[in-house]
Copies of this chain bind each other. A is one copy, B any other.
Amino acid sequence: MTKKKLDHRALARQISEIENDRDAAETTLAKLYRDPDNVQVIGITGPPGAGKSTLADCVIGKLRAEGKTVAVVAVDPSSPFTGGAILGDRIRMSAHADDPGVFIRSMGSRGSLGGLAHATFDVVNLLRSSGFDAVIVETVGVGQSEIDVLAVADTVVLTLVPGLGDDVQALKAGIMEIADIFVINKADRDGKERLVAEIRMILELNRDRFDWVPPICETVATEQRGIDGLMEQVALHAAYVRDHREAVRRPKLARQLEKMAADRISRDILAILGNGDRFTAWMDDIVAGRKNPYQVMQEIGNYISVRKEA
The count of chain A contact residues (Cβ–Cβ below 8 Å) is 104
With contact pairs A30-B292, A206-B81, A303-B306 given, residues A144 and B116 touching in the complex (Cβ less than 8 Å): yes
Nearest-CB distance from A282 to chain B (Å)? 7
A12 neighbours in B (Cβ, 8 Å): none
User: Does chain B have a CB within 8 A of A64?
Assistant: no
Asked whether, in the complex, the Cβ of A79 is within 8 Å of the Cβ of B170, the reply is no
Of A95-103, A213-221, A227-235, A257-265, the one touching chain B: A257-265
With contact pairs A82-B173, A170-B76, A286-B253 given, residues A269 and B112 touching in the complex (Cβ less than 8 Å): no
- Nearest residue, chain B, Cβ from A175: B79
A50 neighbours in B (Cβ, 8 Å): 167
Of A2-10, A55-63, A65-73, A270-278, the one touching chain B: A270-278
Which DSSP category, helix, strand, loop or mixed, fits chain A's interface?
Answer: helix
A268–B293 Cα distance when bound, in Å, is 18
Contact of A144 among B53, B77, B142 (CB under 8 A): B77
A246 neighbours in B (Cβ, 8 Å): 287
A286 neighbours in B (Cβ, 8 Å): 253, 257
Nearest-CB distance from A109 to chain B (Å)? 7
